Every structure is written in structure tokens, then in C-alpha cells.
Amino acid sequence: MKDIFKLDGKIAVVTGGAGGIGEALALGLGYHGATVVVSSRNQQAIDAVAARIKKETGSEALGVASDVTDEASLQNLVDTVKARYGRIDILVNAMGMNIKRDAFEYPLEDWDKLFDVNVKGTMAACKVVGRVMRDQQGGAIVNLSSVRGIRGYTGGNTGYCATKGAVELITKALALEWAPHRIRVNALGPALVITPGTRHIAENPELAAKYAAAVPMGRIGMPEDMVGAVIYLCSDASSFVTGQTIYVDGGLTAA
Ligand SMILES: NC(=O)c1ccc[n+]([C@@H]2O[C@H](COP(=O)([O-])OP(=O)(O)OC[C@H]3O[C@@H](n4cnc5c(N)ncnc54)[C@H](OP(=O)(O)O)[C@@H]3O)[C@@H](O)[C@H]2O)c1
């Protein structure tokens, strides 16, 4: 049987590709043979990740800046990738943010900011890349959800939970609508992962132990833990899988 996890010849776009999880996913795609276009708003950061992919994996990589809250900038990303590589086979939406606010006081402008990036940004990226995939009759999309997409959480996370719940339903609805076009749409649901934004938890032994204790496997996730599921969802290995979220969470959502 051929290597069904291989991505040789595939063109992948990773939004949020210079983020803690996005960088690991972009590298993983490169290691499995894909050409990787790394995107976020910070050109310097994405250029650095693209250089790392080329050096460490030998795959072709390019940094193209875009803001997922700006449809014209997403269209420019798509046009640039199409002009350079001719197609887009894989989209991984690894961008995202959180704004923690007490629910009694939640400023609605913060709610809008959160939804603009996590929800509208996910849909906008799917839409502009989805049109390319429709025209070429095939593609695989992976959206970053979270265990918070199906489990509520305290600590000012109402808005974040709501956005991730929305990402899961966008994923399912698009999976249905785009199945006839051979576009598969799935999601990844991590539990806490140590990234620059959450490093303060790893650096605080008491806090780290508290988070780890909540995970059946007894530890916090690392960005590298996320790679296998995404390679699976982007490759022929998952050719009959769409509309699903894979929770990579050490068993957290099994309870
Ligand atoms: N870390 C965790 O514990 C965890 C757990 C579950 C789910 N997740 C989800 O996984 C995804 C990645 O998380 P992470 O921890 O890797 O976050 P991160 O390190 O903060 O990275 C977020 C990325 O999103 C990009 N981004 C933010 N706003 C953007 C915009 N308007 N347009 C384009 N790019 C934008 C950032 O780049 P620029 O700011 O340079 O644009 C950055 O590359 C998020 O959706 C997050 O909700 C994370």
C-alpha cells in the first residue's frame, strides 16, 4: 500500500503559521512533503518559519502576510499562492486569539474582536480558499477548535468557548455543503498546549501541576503533539473523513 500519509506535491496554506501550534503544524506538513505557505500578519515571523521549514525539512516554503479579518488581504494570499504554485490542496486555520473577561462585565467590543478573528476569520479563510478547492475539485481544510468548543470553562472564557463552538459548527456545515466538491473540512480540538502565550503556566510548577492533574494522561500538551492528527486530516489517510473534530487532549473530553 502506498504511504497514505505522504503529502508530496501538495500545496498547503497555514494561517497563524508563526504561532505556537501553527509553526509546529507548518513544519510537520513540510516534513511530510508538502510545500508550505506560512501566513499571519507579521512578515518577519512568517519568513522565519518558512526559512526553518526549508532548512529542516527540505520542502519548499514561503511566507505571505495576511490578516484574516480583512477579506481583501486573504484574497491577496490566495492569489499569490495560485500565481506561484497553481493550486491550494490544504488549508490549516491555526490562527486565533482569546480575550478573557468576567461575563458580568464582558465589553461587547472585545466580544466582537474575538469573533472577528476566531469565527469570521475562520469562515473568511475557508471561503476564499474553498473557491480554489471547488474549482480544482478537491482539498482538505483543518480548523483549529479547542476542547473549549464542546466544554464550557470558567476564568473569563465565555467568549472563547462561544467562538470555538462556532468553529466546530462552521466545520460541520461546510463539510456537508462542500462534500460534493470533494473538499473535506475537519477540525482539531487541543486541550491546553504550551506555546509562547501559555508558557507562564509551564514556568509556574504549581499552576502546571494543576492543569496536568485535570488531564487523564497527567501532562500538558506540546505543539508537536498536535502534528499527527493534522497530517492525518490533510492526507489520503483520512479520505473518507469529513465534518469531524479530533480532540488531542490526553483524554480530557473522554470524561
Ligand atoms: N495554545 C493552546 O493551549 C490552545 C488550546 C486549544 C486551542 N488552541 C487554538 O489553536 C490556535 C493556535 O493557538 P496558539 O496557541 O498557537 O496561538 P498563538 O501562539 O497566539 O498564535 C496565534 C497565531 O494567529 C495569528 N493571528 C492572530 N490574529 C490574526 C489575524 N487577525 N490574522 C492572521 N493571523 C492572526 C498570530 O500571528 P500575528 O499576530 O502575527 O498575526 C499567530 O501566528 C488558536 O485558534 C487557538 O485558539 C490553542
Q: Whose CA is nearest to atom 32 of ligand 1?
A: 67
Give residue 1's pLDDT.
65
Q: Which residues make Cβ contacts (< 8 Å) with residue 136, sequence separation at least 6?
A: 87, 88
* Tens of pLDDT, residues 104-130: 999 999 999 999 999 999 999 999 999
Q: Report the separation in Å between the CA atom of 97 and the middle of ligand 1, taken as the mean of its atom positions.
A: 5
C-alpha grid cell for residue 228? 499527527
Pick from 224, 242, 225: nearest CA to 233: 242
Mean pLDDT of the chain: 98
- How far is 34 from 20, CA to CA, in rounded Å? 20
The three cell numbers locating residue 173: 456545515
Q: Which atom of ligand 1 is nearest to the CA of 97?
A: 47
Ligand 1 atom, smallest distance to 98 CA: 47
Query: How much distance in Å is there from the Cα of 210 to the middle of ligand 1?
Result: 23
Provide mean pLDDT across the span 88-108.
98
- With the most atoms of ligand 1 within 8 angstroms of its CB, the residue from 46, 76, 95, 249 to mutate is 95
Give 138-190 pLDDT, tens digit per residue: 999 999 999 999 999 999 999 999 999 999 999 999 999 999 999 999 999 99
- What percentage of the chain carries pLDDT values higher than 70? 100
Q: Backbone dihedral region of 65: left (phi > 0), alpha (psi from -120 to 50 degrees) or beta?
A: beta
pLDDT digits (tens, 9 = 90+) for 189-218: 999 999 999 999 999 999 999 999 999 999
Helices (H), the chain: 20-31, 43-57, 71-85, 108-115, 121-136, 158-178, 199-202, 205-213, 227-234
C-alpha 19 – ligand 1 centre gap (Å)? 5
Q: Which amino acids are annotated catalytic? A: 160
The position carrying cell 478573557 is 100
Mutate to test the pocket of ligand 1, among 15, 97, 113 (most ligand atoms within 8 A of CB): 97
Rounded Cα gap, residues 220 and 210, in angstroms: 10
Instruction: State if residue 95 touches ligand 1 by the CB under 6 angstroms criterion.
Output: yes
Q: Which letter does DSSP use for residue 221 in this model?
A: B
What is the reported pLDDT for 174?
Answer: 99
3-state helix vs strand vs coil in the chain, percent to 5: 55, 15, 35
Ordered by where they begin, the domains of the chain are 11-195+223-248 (3.40.50.720)
Q: Is 242's C-beta closer than 6 angstroms to any atom of ligand 1?
A: no
Q: How many Cβ atoms from other residues are within 10 Å of residue 95's Cβ? A: 27
Candidates 239, 236, 184, 231; CA nearest to 32 is 231
pLDDT at 42: 98
Whether 190 is in the pocket of ligand 1, judged by its Cβ within 6 Å, is yes
User: Ligand 1: distance of its center to the CA of 95 in Å?
Assistant: 4
* Predicted pLDDT of residue 2: 80
**Is the CB of 196 within 6 Å of ligand 1?**
yes
